[in-house]
Every structure is written in structure tokens, then in C-alpha cells.
Structure 1
Amino acid sequence: MAVLVLITTTSFTIDMHYCGDTLVKMALFKKAKDCGMEMEKPSADEGCSITKKNCCDDKQLSIEGQDELQLTVDKISFKQQVFIATFVYTYINLFEKYNLDINSFIEYKPPLVVRHLYKIDETYLI
């Protein structure tokens, strides 16, 4: 619930740099770097000059967060609160650690070796 409140109240800006129709750079909270293909703007002293249209474009998307929060805990019925509590409890207990070191034979000793079978059959690994 706290993460949801944090996300909805935070406002942020996404800055995008397009070169033609393709997205080249994107940045959150700061200005996106350009692709290095920016056109030089002519100075006012040159007089009449012909300039080409710049192929690069910068766009900015601003997402505003909420200023006022409304608590709606009072509107949740008792049955809904019970359902939410049992759902959270069962969901948390789904992910219990499973102990892989369960050995039922750990306290038993292995049988004594009376004869070596490889010597009886005379089979040796060379």
C-alpha cells in the first residue's frame, strides 16, 4: 500500500530525443542527450541565408502526481477486510523455505562389507 501511495503521489518527467522518426535517447528526471546531428543556427549578422529543417526533435512527457489523498479504509466492509487478511496470510505462507536436508537414514549405520564383490567376480576397472 505504501508503494502505491508513493508511486501515485510522485510526479516525474520523461525527456525523449528523436532523430527523424526513431527514438534515440530517453532519460528520466533530466534532459536527454542529443545524437550529435543538431543543425547549426545561423547568426543574425550573416543576413539572408538558407537553412535546412532540423531532423532532430526533443519531446517531453510530464506526469503529475496527486496532491490530495483520500483514505477509503472506512468504505471496506468487514467481510472484505477478512478476505484481504486471509489472502495475504495464505500468499505469504506459499513461499516457505523447503528443507532439502531431510535424511531419514542419517542415524543408521551402513552394513558391514563381508566380501568385496569385484574380487569375487574378478572384474577390475582398468
Structure 2
Amino acid sequence: MLKSILHKGFTSILALLVLFSTVSFTIEKHFCGDVLVDVSVFAEAEKCAMEALELLQKKTCCKDELNVVKGQDELSVTSFDDLDLEQQQFLYAFTHSYVFGFESLVKHKIPHKNYTPPKLVTDIQVLDQVFII
């Protein structure tokens, strides 16, 4: 019971670790002067009202800042041919012994499987006064 719960928990943690190590996202921040106006993770950050006025005046006090958190792009996948000879031999021997190492037991025929003993009418030991001491 405890072993299966630990196994399921450990595999879930490893799956989440692989998922979160490959996810990439961008954090966008909009500053108006030195004041942080908006922060957005998945969508574009909202602009302040000063930005519309700056387009007319061509003077800029607003700035956008992008922080990109990159996940892992490639997961290393190795094939059987990439392994050196000793590793290939070990892997082959391990799989061969695991697949062919377990033999099923021969099913023995039990001749008295369906035999029911006769019902005792009297206790013979008490009748003959024979007791094991």
C-alpha cells in the first residue's frame, strides 16, 4: 500500500519536473517613468494613457520590459546505436535474462483434489481408549 503510494507520487513529481523544465514563457512589464503600471505573463501588458499622448509628442517616458524564461528546447534522446559496445552487451543480456529467465511451473495433476473423506460416525480414539501422550 505504502509502496504503491510512494511510487505514484514519485512518478508524478518526475512527470511534472519534465513538464516544467520544457515550458517557456514571457513576462512583460510596462513602466511609465519609474512606476510599474502592468505586469503580464501570457498576454500583452496594458499600456497607460501617457503612451497615447507620447505618440503625438514623439517624446517617450514609457518603456516596456520583456523577461523571457526559456525552457529546455531539446531533450537528449539516445538510440541503441549511440551506446558503446559494453553498454549494448549489458542491455542485451539484461533484457534477455529478464524475458527468458522466468519459466512457468509445470502444473501437476492432483489425483485426490475432488476427494472428500468419509464422515466420522464415532470418535475411534475414544472408543478404543487410545491417546497420544
TM-score (norm 2): 0.41
TM-score (norm 1): 0.44
Q: Structure with the greater relative contact order (CA < 8 A, sep ≥ 6): 1 or 2?
A: 1
